Amino acid sequence: MIPLNLFSHFSSPWPSPVSTKLGKKCDMFRGRWVQFPKGPSYTNVTCHHIFDQQNCMKLGRPDTEFLKWRWKPDECELPFFDAAQFLELVRGKSMAFIGDSLARNQMESLLCLLASEGDPVAVSNTKYPLSKSCLYTDYNFTVASFWSPYLVKDIVAKPTAGTADSLTNVYVDEAHEAWMSQIEKFSYVIVSAGIWFFRPQVYYENGNIVGCHLCHKKNVTNLTALYGYRKAFQTTFRTLLRLKNFKGVTFLRTVSPSHFENGEWNTGGNCVRTKPVSSKEMRLEGLYPEMYSTQVEELNAAEKLGRKRGLKFRLLDTTEALVVRPDGHPGYYGKRVHENMTIPDCVHWCLPGPIDTWNEFLLQMLKMEGGSSLGQ
């Protein structure tokens, strides 16, 4: 939970692996939300890629003020998402989102932002049905999401599978097969991970138990969630560095905060706000600051190693923008598949909603890779 009245302006104390300063002054990741009465460029009617879990308007969310804000960097303007420009930049290329349902949430946001230029053709994935892939035939552009909530291999160890109390065996030194088996062909890879590491886990290395988090097993070393979190990013980045045929650009999408207030997800917490809060009202707390620093530290290490191979590692720093958007979650207006909505969803993001800014950032980073700067 992110508490109220405990915030100092969030800023990363760690050096970015790539400058996000566009032009002479502008860092697009540092800024504030400003009112934008026109609202988003798409709706749940114009985009049919939205899962019910994030389709807040379809499922009856009564307020719309949360849709009427735009991110304003401190020293410049963030251009509106240009679908045609995006598709031209990625013509003949491919993009993969690796992670949990928030990675899929971002991919669905991208599909909606691109909908004005047409819809892709779905590509079936019978081996990994929770993963998703589609092709924009006019541009020969493939976009995919690979379901891997821990980034590394995981096996549910108890029959409470699918609940937050499931005990999972996490093999922190083995990349998840769903993405590792296919990633070499991708031009851009967006890596992210978060809340699944709060769950009970047993950690394995070299096939042996090395410790656990919340497993309550005798004679097993109790480790924090940060142990598995760091190892997972190490393994992911090292795998990308090791794969001989991988030539892509890797983006780390930083941790996305949940916004349960007045309790946790299982103790009556909710998210009922209807507009952004100020940067003085909310801050990262609990494990989130350390998760953020762990991500950035491991990305910096990978970036240094990547130079030797000519591989690029980039920081897609979405955390500051989203920490002050407790209004952007589905709450009770999002339904999990095959499940009644009795617990509010204060983790995922409504579509349309604040998460669309992640892909506005991504577009600018793709332009930087091509030599353009913000606003060009």
Instruction: Report the distance separating Cα 227 and Cα 197, nearest Å.
Output: 9
Q: Do residues 95 and 190 lie in contact, with contact meaning Cβ atoms separated by under 8 Å? A: yes
- Supply 313's token pair: 């590692």
101 in catalytic set: yes
Catalytic residue among 94, 101, 109, 145: 101
Catalytic residue among 109, 148, 348, 356: 348
How open is the CA angle 250-48-258, to the nearest 5 degrees? 55
Instruction: Report the distance separating Cα 105 and Cα 63, nearest Å.
Output: 21
DSSP structural state of residue 329: S
Instruction: Report the distance separating Cα 142 and Cα 140, nearest Å.
Output: 7
Q: Pairing relation of β-strands 168-175 and 152-156? A: antiparallel
Distance of CA 322 to the CA centre of its chain: 11
Q: Do residues 240 and 188 lie in contact, with contact meaning Cβ atoms separated by under 8 Å? A: no
329 in catalytic set: no
Sequence-distant (6+) residues with CB within 8 A of 339 are none
Instruction: Report the distance separating Cα 248 and Cα 228, nearest Å.
Output: 25
27 in catalytic set: no
- The closest of 359, 349, 296, 307 to 327, measured between CA atoms, is 349
Residues annotated catalytic, as ranges: 101, 345, 348
